[in-house]
Amino acid sequence: MKIVVCIKQVPARDSLLRVDPSTAWIQEDDLAHEINEPDAYALEEGLQLKEKHGGEVVVLCAGPAAAAQTIREALAKGADRAIHVEEEKLGGFDPLALSRLMAAALQTEKPDLVLTGLQSDDLGYGQTGVILAEVLGLPHATIIMQVEKQDSGIRVKRELEDGWFQHVDMPLPALLTIQSGINKLRYATLMGIKKAKSKEVKRLTAAELGIAQRACIRIERMYPPEKSKHTQMLDGSPKEAAAKLVEKLKFEVRVI
Amino acid sequence: MSILAILEQRAGVWHRMSWETLAAAQQLGAELGQPVSAAVIGSDVSALGGELAAKRLERVYAVEHELLKDYTPDGYTAALGQLIAAAKPRLVLFPHTYQVRDFAPKLATSRERVMVSDVVSHRVEGGELVLVRQLFQGKMNVDVHFQGDPPYFASVQAGAYRADKVAAGSAAMEKFAPELSASAIRTKPQELFRESQRAVDLTAAEIIVSVGRGIKEAENIPVVQKLADVLGAELAASRPICDNGWLPMERQVGSSGQTVSPKLYLAVGISGAIQHLVGMKGAKTIVAINKDPEAPIFEVADYGIVGDLFQVVPALVEEIQKAKG
C-alpha cells in the first residue's frame, strides 16, 4: 500500500502567544514549533499500516523552510521519503488553495491511501483533509479511530458524537482524517534518526506547481478572546490559594 | 438571495444543534435584512419539515430521496449542491457537528468556496457580515470576512446561539427531490454502535475533578485521585489523558466524551480547548488550576488559581481535610 501522510508544523502547544498587530497573526519568530498532534497520529497509523501490509509511507508537508525539522522527525520515525512544498507565506492560501497546492504536489504519486490529522491545532478549520479528497476526486471518511484492510478496499471506524461509532466500507484509493488517540505514538530511535539523514526530501514551490495564492475568506483581526465570565483569581502561595479556594467551596459553592 | 440553514436529523430525531443554527440564521436574517429558509434532508422528512413550517421562515425545503436514508458524504453533497443551485442562497449555515465536518467542506469545495467553520459569534459592520472564530485551541479569536461572490458557507459552534430564541411563525414547505444515483455513492455506511455500556455515568456526579495534560504522566494520576477522594468526587479527564490510556475512555469529558453539568467542576491542568469546554461549561461552578495564566479554561472559570498543580493540589487536599475536620 502506498500511503501519503499530510503533516503540518504548528507552534508548540505551551507557546505563549502574542498578536503581531501589523499582520493580524501571532508573532511566530521566537516560538518553538512541533508536528500538529492529530497529524502525528495520522503518521503513526500510516507507519503501522505499512508494517502490516507492506508498501511505502510518503510524508507531504506544506510549510516554511523551518518545517524541515518536523519533516526530519517524521522520517526518523519511519517514513520512507518526503515532499516539502516550501512556502514562507502560506497565509495567502485558503484551505482550498492549499489543498490544490498539495494535490499538485501529489500528481505523480498516485497513492492508495492519503491520511491527514482531523484538524490543526493552530487554524483549526478541520477542513483540509476533506477538501483535499474532493480536489483529488477521492472518497473520504473523517474522525477515524480504526483502519482495516479488506479484500476490496478498507473498513474504517468513524467516531460520532456522544460515544457513538460507525463502520464505513470504502474502496481505495481514499482519504481519511485521523482522530487523536487511534494508536500509541512511537518515538524515533537513534537508528531512525541516523537513517533519516539520508532519506529523500523533494522540495517544490507553489510557483513550480503553478498554484497561485487565493483566499475567499480573509482574517481581518486577531485578538485574545474576551472573558465570558468574571473569574475570581485566588493568589498567594499554593497553601494560601488553596485555603482561599476551600473558603469559597465551603461557604459559596457549599460542597464541603 | 437569502440565508439557508441546513439542519441535521438522524432517524427522524433532530440534532440538538439544529435549533441553535436556526436561531443563528433568524438572527442574521433580521440584522442583514435577508429572508431565511431552512432545509432538512433524509429519506422521509415530511414530519420534521412540518415542524419547521411552524417557525418564522420564508420557506422550508424537505430534501428527500431513498438514497439519503443513511448519511453519506457523496449523497448529501450531491443533494445539497442541487438544492443550493436551485434556491440560490447568499449564505448557507450549518451546525458544526461531526457530520457537517464530514461533508460541508466538500460541498463548499464543489462551489469553489471555503466554509468558515466553528463560528462563535458575529456582527454586521456597514452591511457586511463579520464572523468570529477561534484559533490556537481557543487562545485567540479572529474576525473573518467573506471575499468574492456568494454563496458563502459557515458552521456555528455548539452553544454559540440559543435554541430557545427560535421565533415561531409559518412557512411554506416545498419538497425537493434531488437526482441521485447509487453508483455515485462510494462509501457504504454500517449501523451505528456504542463500544460498551458505560460503567461510569459522569452526568450523575455532583462534583467532578477533571485532569488534563498538565498532569504530565500516568504515574501522577494519584495526585488528582486523592483530591477527588477527599471531595467525594468522580475523576474525569480531557481527551489526551484518555488517548494516552492514563484513564479509561469512559471518563472523558468533551465533545467526543460525556457532557456534564455538576455542581462543581474542578479542572486541573486542563488548558480548555473548545472540544473540552463544550462538555463542561454548563457546570454550576467551575474552578481552574493551571500554570498558564492565559489558558482558555480561565475564560469559563468562576475561580482560578495560577500555579503548579503539583504544589497546589496537595495543598488543597490538606486544606479540605482540615476544613472537614
Statement to judge: residues B91 and B61 lie in one domain: yes
Query: Shortest CA distance to B106 belongs to which of A171, A16, A135?
Result: A135
Domain of B222, in residue numbers: 202-324
Interface of B with A in 275-314 (CB under 8 A): 284-288, 292, 294, 296, 298-308, 311-312, 314
For residues B152 and B130, what is the distance between their CA atoms, to the nearest angstrom? 12
B193 within some domain: no
Residue B135: left (phi > 0), alpha (psi -120 to 50), or beta? beta
| B117 shares contact with chain A (CB less than 8 Å) | yes
CATH, residue B276: 3.40.50.1220
Nearest CA in chain A to B15: A161
Tell which residue, A70, A127, A118, has the closest CA to residue A97.
A127
> Which 3 state secondary structure label does DSSP give B4?
strand
Using N-to-C axis directions, what is the helix angle for B309-324 and B221-231, rounded to 10°? 20
Helix H or strand E encompassing A115:
strand A113-117
Same domain, B227 and B148: no
Rounded distance, CA B182 to CA B218, Å?
49
Strands B36-42 and B59-64: parallel
The reply to whether B190 falls in a domain is no
Boundary-marking domain end, from B157, B184, B211: B184
Nearest CA to B74 out of A8, A202, A171 is that of A171
**Residue pLDDT, tens place only, A146-186:** 999 999 999 999 999 877 899 999 999 999 999 998 999 99
Same domain, B10 and B125: yes
**If you average pLDDT over residues A52-67, what whole number do you get?**
97
Nearest CA in chain B to A122: B136
Q: Which of B101, B135, B304 sits opposite A231 (nearest CB)?
A: B304
Report pLDDT for B159: 85
Query: Poorest-confidence range of A138-152, A222-236, B143-157?
Result: A222-236
C-alpha cell read off for A8: 503540518
Q: Which of B184, B213, B229 is the last residue of a domain?
A: B184
pLDDT the model gives residue B17: 94
Interface A-B, measured as beta-carbon pairs within 8 A, has a size of: 252
Could you say which DSSP state residue A256 is in?
-
Q: Rounded distance, CA B229 to CA B266, Å?
A: 13
- In a shared domain, residues B160 and B35: yes
Residue B198: the pLDDT is 61
Residue B174: which CATH number? 3.40.50.620
Together in a domain, B180 and B212: no
Residue B50 included in any domain: yes
Last residue of one domain, picked from the residues B184, B210, B243: B184
Residue B19: inside a domain: yes
Q: Per the domain annotation, does B112 fall within a domain? A: yes
The answer to whether residue B258 is domain-embedded is: yes
Cβ contacts (< 8 Å) between B316 and chain A: which residues?
Answer: 242, 245-246
Task: Walk along chain B (325 residues) and give the pLDDT tens digit of each residue.
Answer: 599 999 999 999 999 899 999 999 999 999 999 999 999 999 999 999 999 999 999 999 999 999 999 999 999 999 999 999 999 999 999 999 999 999 999 999 999 999 999 999 999 998 899 999 999 988 899 999 999 999 999 999 988 999 999 999 999 999 999 999 999 999 999 999 987 666 688 988 999 999 999 999 999 999 999 999 999 999 999 999 998 889 998 899 998 888 899 999 999 999 999 889 989 988 999 999 999 998 999 989 999 999 999 999 999 999 999 998 7
A126 to B142: CB separation less than 8 angstroms, yes or no = no
With CB atoms and an 8 Å threshold, state whether B105 touches A246.
no
Residue B194: list chain A partners with CB under 8 A. Answer: 163-165
A238 neighbourhood in chain B, CB within 8 Å: 307-308, 311-312, 314-315
Do residues B123 and B131 touch, judged by C-beta distance below 8 A?
A: no
B219 and B162 in one domain?
A: no
Mean of all residue pLDDT scores within chain A: 94
The share of chain A scoring above pLDDT 90, in percent, equals 84
pLDDT computed for residue A21 by the predictor:
81
B140:A167 CB<8 A:
no
Identify whether residues B112 and B232 lie together within a single domain. Answer: no
What's the rounded Cα separation, in Å, for the pair B64 and B201? 38
Question: CA B269, CA B323: separation in Å to the nearest integer?
Answer: 24
Tell whether B305 and B209 lie within a shared domain. Answer: yes
Residues A222, A26 contacting (CB under 8 angstroms): yes
Residues 6+ apart with CB under 8 A from A137: none
Q: Say yes or no: B11 and B152 in one domain.
A: yes
pLDDT tens-digit series, residues A181-216: 899 999 999 999 999 999 999 999 999 999 999 999
Minimum mean pLDDT among A59-73, A87-101, A180-194, A217-231: which range?
A217-231
Interface contact A216-B148, CB threshold 8 A: yes
A151 touches chain B (CB under 8 A): no
First to last CA, chain B: 68
Is A137 within 8 Å of chain B by CB?
Answer: no
Contact B260, B203 (CB under 8 A): yes
Q: In this structure, are B146 and B215 located in the same domain? A: no
- Examine the domain organization and report whether B175 and B235 are in the same domain: no
Whether ipTM exceeds 0.90: yes
Please check whether residues B101 and B243 belong to one and the same domain: no
Backbone angles phi, psi at B116, to 5 degrees: -90, 110
Cα–Cα distance measured from residue B174 to residue B40, given in angstroms and rounded to the nearest whole number: 11
Instruction: Say how many domains are in chain B.
Output: 2
Query: Looking at the domain assignment, is residue B194 inside a domain?
Result: no
Q: Which residue of B has its CA nearest to A238?
A: B312
* pLDDT exceeds cutoff 90 at A230: no
Q: What is the pLDDT of residue B196?
A: 64
The pLDDT of residue A228 is: 67
Q: Is B13 on the interface with A (CB under 8 A)?
A: no
Which domains, from first to last, does chain A contain?
2-209 (3.40.50.620), 230-256 (no CATH)
The answer as to whether B10 is a domain residue is yes
